[in-house]
Chain A
Amino acid sequence: MSAARKILLLGGIALAVWGMSYGLWYAVFAEHQALEEIGSSLAAGFGGAAARNSALAERALQQYQQAKYVYDRQVDVHGHWIGLAMVLIVLGIGLDRLAFSERIKILLSASTLLGSFLFPLGVLLQTVDHGNGPRALAVLGSALVIGALAAFAVGFARKPAA
């Protein structure tokens, strides 16, 4: 088996297991609490409005915004890690049909794997750091994946038959 295929298959399955384990941990230890916080803070915001207490309503809604921000990213990360892992595995399986040299295949495979790990990681880090670092990581990761995938598309189109 070629090195490029190893990167994609082993990396893809490892990433899928990683994403599933994260999802399992999240479902057991974090999701219910997150949903509870989102619901209760939103209700508290409107409850504050009913009590004509704008300051309380505002505080509760800020809490809702923060909880929702974190929840959306945590769920997205789970889905994206596993989804990207699947793309990696399928690309690995079909690698023989790619009309590039082995060196380019390795480069593309490594780039796709790295991007597939970094992009959701950058999204996840946004939950603890609202600065530009995590965003830059997510952009870099997605750029690596998109660039490599475009090259894969060209490679498959150049030599569709094995």
Chain B
Amino acid sequence: MSSSHNAATGEPVIPFDRSETFAPLSARRLLVLGGIGLILIGMIFGDVFAVFVLHQNAARIGASLSNAAHAALAGDGAAVLTNFQDVGGFLENRGTKVDTHVHMIAFGYLALMLSLLGPWIALSANTKKRLAWVFLNGAGLLPIGVFLIHYVGLAYSPLKAIGWASIFADLGGLLVIVAALSYLFGLVKNFVAVQRAAVRDDLLADASAPGRLLLAGGVFLVLLGFLHGSYYAATDLYRHEALDYSILSQVSIGAAKQNGAAVERGLAAYGQLQGDKAVNIAAHAHIIEFGLLSMLLAFFQPYVNLRERWRQRWALVLLLGSVLLPVCVLLELKYGLVAGGLADVGGLLVIVALLAMWVGVLRYTGQLDAGDAP
């Protein structure tokens, strides 16, 4: 690290050297590679889950609910309970997989952000490195624990309602919180320090075309997501909640009065309602997440060791996939599998672009370690 003097302010200036901040096993390198890796695994898991589990699971939930309603219609209370136990199991299966997907990606985003904040964190390089490991361990442990909840259940658990998988998942969450709090402490320490090192980070000074495209495109995607969420909350959210209750009420009262037609109408309406809710929430969440990802990746473009033309192409591919997936998810109810297939293609485009950028970062680390980084 070199030192100089700021002529304007008279403060001692200690610029950060890029090769040092991205040194082998440094906090920044761990968090960048680990963060993009977490996002990639989370997205691939999400795609596999969407193709092989989500729809089949939804069909099983619908079938069990229908069986429960028909059991109620037939006056068979025991069968009602059995079917609801099945619904509970299917919902847990679905919920834990969604949580695995979401948490892994969210932790990946957080890792990228913490790596960007690195120069402002007034902690030693060793402490930052240890915190990065703590963070990455927690970020890996929580999703794995959550994924296993459905399979491990309460086996050998010392607690009544929480199994070992949940306990390890919570431990992972705690590790992440400890790391994030420590980073916050380092940030505050930097702000309150009387004499602080001036931060000159090449990543933030980058003004390349792919970086600009990703940043502007990302902000636009997040804004679109917020507007869609507000529109949904204003027009559909409360209506959907009211419908959820009224339809179930229609089904149960229809069953109590042995009105089979009312039960069938209610079940059909309930399926439609669940689909409507699911696509709106998925579109809202995905467009914002992709926008955030795009904004984050904009800052890391100097580390993506690919030709400028290719970096621009991958930025465009990422933005294209980021729009295609949520839009096609919204169109799924109207156009069915065609829109669903296109949404999966959108997800694949984002994954491929992200993978290409990750490979670019790996190439950069290789060049850096060989001593001939640009």
Residues of A at the B interface (CB closer than 8 Å) are 1, 6, 9-10, 13-14, 16-17, 20-21, 23-24, 27-28, 32-33, 35-36, 39, 42-43, 45-54, 57-58, 61-62, 64-65, 68-69, 72, 79, 82-83, 86-87, 89-90, 93-94, 96-97, 138, 142, 145-146, 149-150, 152-153, 156-157, 160-162
The reply to whether B88 and A96 contact each other, CB–CB distance below 8 Å, is no
Please give me the residue from chain A that is nearest to B77 by CB atom.
A50
- Give the docked Cα–Cα distance between A51 and B79 (Å): 12
Q: Is residue B275 within 8 Å, beta carbon to beta carbon, of the partner chain?
A: no
The reply to whether A14 and B184 contact each other, CB–CB distance below 8 Å, is yes
The reply to whether A16 and B256 contact each other, CB–CB distance below 8 Å, is no
The reply to whether B255 and A46 contact each other, CB–CB distance below 8 Å, is yes
CB distance from B130 to the nearest CB of A (A): 18
B 140-182 binary contact with A (CB < 8 Å = 1; else 0)? 0000000000000000000001100010011001101100110
Cβ-neighbour of A58 out of B73, B253, B299 (below 8 A):
B253
Measured between beta carbons, the chain A residues less than 8 angstroms from B194 are none
Cβ-neighbour of A162 out of B73, B81, B177, B205 (below 8 A):
B205
CB distance from A97 to the nearest CB of B (A): 7
The reply to whether A17 and B187 contact each other, CB–CB distance below 8 Å, is no
Cβ-neighbour of B72 out of A33, A49, A65 (below 8 A):
A49
Q: Is residue B354 within 8 Å, beta carbon to beta carbon, of the partner chain?
A: no
If A150-B223, A152-B219, A153-B223 touch, whether A50 touches B292 (CB-CB below 8 Å) is no
- Give the docked Cα–Cα distance between A16 and B79 (Å): 45
Within 8 A of A (CB), among B238-255: 241, 244-245, 248-249, 251-253, 255
- Give the docked Cα–Cα distance between A45 and B91 (Å): 18
If A17-B181, A50-B75, A160-B212 touch, whether A43 touches B80 (CB-CB below 8 Å) is yes
Measured between beta carbons, the chain A residues less than 8 angstroms from B174 are 24
Q: Is residue B183 within 8 Å, beta carbon to beta carbon, of the partner chain?
A: yes
The reply to whether A94 and B299 contact each other, CB–CB distance below 8 Å, is yes
